[in-house]
Amino acid sequence: MNIGDKMPDLLGKDSEGNEIKLSDFPGKKFIIYFYPKDNTPGCTAEAISFRDNYETFLKMGYQIIGVSKDSEASHRKFAEKQNLPFPLVADTETALCQLAGVWRLKKMAGREYMGVVRTTFVCDNDGTVTDVIEKVMTKAAAEQLFKLLDGRGAVNPAP
């Protein structure tokens, strides 16, 4: 997905098996972040960054939604362990990941495989992509977004 493209209304199912639709969050803009795997160091750091700043994002008018190919059960354990207040979409068939263009060939230790490339999309209230972050700073994911959004004249995240 690129700037100007539109996320689908139905993103998938969350950790409790509930359908997650953008239309379920009227008046909200969206931060939809795709990450490789629950309970890995980088993905945990990214989720904690969003968790610790969740209320600020809500005050700024943004709903956070995480997406990976992990199962609903894996998401449930991850969300409970890390006390995550936002939904995690279980894209086990990688349909949303493929649509977003984050399901790509990856290389690690001389091995090639298909996987989720960590990417964050900022969308307006109808799901239109306004920004794409491909080089996510996992431990400072929220701060990276605050800098981007503040640079566009968004609400200042400072307390």
> Which residues are known to be catalytic?
43
CA dihedral sign of residues 95, 96, 101, 102: negative
Helix 41-52 to helix 72-82 angle (10° resolution) is: 60
Beta sheet of 10-13, edge-to-edge order: 19-21, 10-13, 88-90, 62-68, 29-34, 119-123, 129-133
Helix (H) or strand (E) holding 60: none
| Pairing of β 111-116 and β 103-108 | antiparallel
The token duo for 148 is: 């981007």
